[in-house]
Structure 1
Amino acid sequence: MLYQVFEKKKFSCWDAGFSNKLYRDFLWVAKVFMQAFILRISPSNVDKVPEALASDQIIIGWSKTLGLLDASLSWKKFRERIHVEHYAEEKTMHRAGAAAGHMWRFVHDMQDNDLVVVPYGSKFYVAKISGEAVYLPEKAGEDTSYRRPVIWLNDKKPIPRGYAKAALISRMKVYGTSASAIDLVGDIQEALARAASGKKPSFKSELQSALVSQTVAHLRSGYMDSFGFEELIKELLIKMGAKDAQVIARRLDKGADVLATFRIADTFQYTLAVQAKHWDESAPVTSKVVDQLIEGIEASNANLGMVITSGIVHQGAIAAASSYLEATGVPIELVDGEQFAKMLIEQGIGRV
């Protein structure tokens, strides 16, 4: 979810890992003229990925709201219709606004030939949009009326999460229904190419997998205490473009262990609040940790939140982060040990 903050930085260096100029140029052209999106296909919290694959469509919910395909509908009217049909009991427009954002993206922002990544457990599917959004009235009872035709790539076969770079893995953890991934077109194409080749993973990818495993094991080995873990997070954030990052003294801790600021075009400033949880085999990150971070976000007036652990994340934490996003519009990203290790490696931390 930090792509809003880092998008400018990634735009200038997205192809730095490729040595073949022709291939870089091809991906550059693709990035300029192709968009990409992340879409969770689970309207009303029901898994509809198998149906989407069988019907060659992508699917989204909010089916009670009619008329969203009307091109003349303004954003305000668009949001109001969703509010009336789905969130009339809400005093604010936060949830309606979040839902309208997903629906607007689905109906208006997505275009033919754009890529759509559909997370599915430890794997993901990739599709290419092949037509306009439609509304199927007969599917309203299942909350699957709004659909778009697609061509499923990779022969409709799922791609292992390990084929993706850390940034794409992070984006696939979006806790809302959808997200933009225009800055990750190259990463998506690279994952597709790797999956489509049918060949054994390259030495480079195998080496990275081995490094990730070793890094996770080292993080959990007990050689680093919680103070060192916080300093490591600080170093990572600075590598990722933070203009400033500070570890908060324990006596001043109000729920955020690390605070970092990012600037876009030297004009817009964002504050990121981080809750750090070092490895505890018996205690995965739960909703309680998210609640602590929320206190830190609100105490520091942060724009974004992140929980980073060298361990694992419980489903309850994901639900808590999703609820906070819907209620306030403030995203919280949950980074587990494997993703954290990938981030460290890709940013060159520990390299001699």
Structure 2
Amino acid sequence: MTEIVSVRKAEDYEKGLSKAIDKVLSDLGGLKRFVKSGDKVALKPNLLVFSSPSKAIVTHPIFTFEVFKKIIEIGGEPFVIDSPGSGIPFTKNSLKSLYRLTGYWEIFKDYTDYLNTDTSKQTVEIENGLILKRVDILKPLLDADFIINLPKMKTHTLTFLSGAVKNMYGAVPGMEKTKYHSRFRNVHDFSKVLIDVWNVTKPGLTLMDGIVSLEGDGPAMRGIPRKTQVILGSKDPLSMDLAICKLIGLAYNDIPYLKVAIENNLSDGTYNIVGETPAINDFILPRTYHGKISIDPVSLYNYFVFPIFSKFLVEKPKVMKQKCIRCGVCVRSCPEKAITIDKVSAIIDYNKCIKCYCCHEQCPEGAIDLKRINL
């Protein structure tokens, strides 16, 4: 069945946002179609790192709060939940710091008890997973009656797009995320992990913040904020990500997890956009995206017959010493323990590095760039 993806314009996070969200929900049959009075509703934004909303890395707190209020209005019981990137300790105190530094504590000032700090997890057995047999998921998320996925429209240096499907990877608690990067080193297999996590969590509704998006080398500090002035809604995260590809000029067959989903008959690649279709021209893609021919840089590095050629093909993380503050976030986020700290800056051991770009993603100072390091 072809799923609807609603696309509506929203100028900013103040003017007309509530009405734009109402239009999206109306296109999908109304909020009451999804949420009943008394339902415990988990709102899952993208809270990847400690970052101001102005940097367009996290789902804007005003966007999340507007959805939060609409659920209360119809008698639902919403709460906000996420597990940030592996560079941030997954503790109650760290989560409180995350909410403060991302602007959520201020916007939810009268509702801070609804910002989840429960770090408990539950192991879920997966009968027909693409690659996983079991996975740990945030328990409060599993206990919810309904999940609303609230991703941010962003690029991503590994998967090229950080959209609706990938946002649900935040359902995996804390450092658990790191082990999957280590176990599944090529992006094709890692994409299967993303699909399995999405299938376990099954958000019933996805509303995307694309008012200010992140282009370039996303999904974090090295990306570039850009006003795109759209919000999207769909029952199906795969359909939403396919629609985003159309909006920003990505070939969906070049998005590893979308390719995996289509190969496994989880999508036929079709969707139906309703509402508006604003052109988002010249959207800057990550440097790791090599055009219309799909190239998996991690697989090339690990499996190419002559790995020496990868030095010309694969962007590698490089520490910019003048920006590094030696905080150690990159050390904690690296699944292969390839990073150490000396007296000046972080040091990367390229013999251990698997090019997962977790350090690039998690660095709070944007001090890790991606470079082709030649012979």
Normalised to the residue count of structure 1, the TM-score between the two structures is 0.29
Bigger radius of gyration: 1
Normalised to the residue count of structure 2, the TM-score between the two structures is 0.28
Relative to total residues, which structure has the larger helix share, 1 or 2? 1
Whose RCO is larger (CA < 8 A, sep 6+)? 2
